[in-house]
Amino acid sequence: MMTGSHPSGARRRAAAAAALALLPQSSCSDTRHAGRSGGPAVGPDAAGGQEPTEGEADGSGSPTQPACPDNDEVPPGWVCVPPTPLEGVLLGGPDDPPKTGSAHFSPPTHEVVLTRPFLIRTTETTVDEWLEVMGPALYDEHRCAVDDCPMGHADFDEVLDYLNRLSERDGLEPCYVLEGCAVDPEWEYFSCRTRTWEQGYDCPGYRLPTDAEWEYAARAGSSTAFHTGPLLNAALPHRAVDVCTGPDANLARAGWYCDNSVREEQFPEEDCGPGRIGSPLPMCRHPVAQKEPNDWGLYDVHGNVAEWTWDDSLVADSERGRVDPLSTSTHQGDIGRALTIRGGSHGSPPVEATAYVRRRVGWGATTNRGVRVIRTWKPAEE
């Protein structure tokens, strides 16, 4: 895996403090004006929830969450994101979400509690990291002529296979049971009949984030559309695809999107996607970690490549559990309903790259879909 720096304990504590600062002091109505990362108290008996563990660190016996390890226990290139406060955080979009077309949606504000800390890569998986585990590329689109280019053209089942192989390489128990897998001879993509995440959040191996984990990590305590500030260009595409609506200064600081990812001289044209209405030049994946990180130290959570999550598109709408929400433990057959990718890509207009907009997709591969690896943190003695 690629090495890299991770933020200091001070930065990590600052992000946690930002999330705490947005929590309500009194009523639920107060929280809806406190910021999107805050949230009203969420009880342990909420749907899909569990009892928080009893803590004794403060001598009160009050419920506490498990903690992240010290920085020297976090591998280079990773950070640890702590659990949410017990009172929960608010995720989701504005009260009047943008209408971005049937392929995109922004669920209403909803409360979430995440009870487990998790380790997450500071960068999206690069092509070199992918090929080190998976071997020769199945698609020409895997390649990238520039160093540290994020992996693209990764279909859902292939990503799960990659994560299992990565776990096995590092001596960890794989998270996913994949059955009936084969490479389609005509379309040359890897697909499985059934995908099961048997242990859920307790799996010790590498995995995809859930939809809630992704947004909590991407926000890092922020309450705005981007960790660099609010959405400045809220123009909506007049159709679902192939439209660039122009620049957004805050997004430009955080990531590569349709307005700033146009092909540069060092990028071969065949490594780039087509242009869009409003930005006709080819748009390209760029090296990771070139833009400003969020307060957890995560790069490119907005733009570059959209990131797969485990959940289907119903998880946020149905609010299947306020504590450690999970849409399903098994995806059957052709999945039946759309999955979600997050963060937008190098071809996205600003509104599609926000922290709250999700995109409904099938399980296939396109050049703008990649992966950011996470794993649940558990002390060695557990």
Domain 1-46+62-382 sits in CATH at: 3.90.1580.10
State the pairing for strand pair 182-183/118-121. unpaired
Q: Quick: pLDDT tens for 274-314.
A: 555 455 567 788 999 999 999 999 999 999 999 999 988 76
Q: Cα–Cα distance between 263 and 272 in angstroms, integer?
A: 7
Q: Cα–Cα distance between 38 and 56 in angstroms, integer?
A: 25
The pLDDT score that the predictor gives to residue 213 is 96
Q: Which residue has better confidence, 244 or 203?
A: 203
- Paired tokens of 57: 């660190």
The answer on pLDDT for 131 being more than 50 is: yes
The pLDDT score that the predictor gives to residue 190 is 81
The answer on pLDDT for 254 being more than 90 is: yes
Q: Cα–Cα distance between 181 and 208 in angstroms, integer?
A: 19
The pLDDT score that the predictor gives to residue 123 is 98
Burial of 261 (0-12, 13-18, 19+ CB in 10 A): buried
The pLDDT score that the predictor gives to residue 72 is 87
Taking Cα atoms as reference points, which of 307, 312, 318, 126 lies closest to residue 217? Answer: 307
The answer on pLDDT for 34 being more than 80 is: no
Burial of 66 (0-12, 13-18, 19+ CB in 10 A): middle
Note whether 347 and 256 are within 8 A (CB).
no
- Paired tokens of 320: 């299947």
143-147, 207-211, 246-250, 310-314: segment of lowest average pLDDT: 143-147
The reported pTM is 0.81
* Distances in whole angstroms, Cα of residue 356 to Cα of each of 29, 107, 275, 376: 21, 8, 25, 23
Name the most confidently modeled range: 266-270, 286-290, 329-333. 286-290
Q: Quick: pLDDT tens for 185-233.
A: 776 678 888 999 999 999 999 999 999 999 999 999 999 999 999 999 9
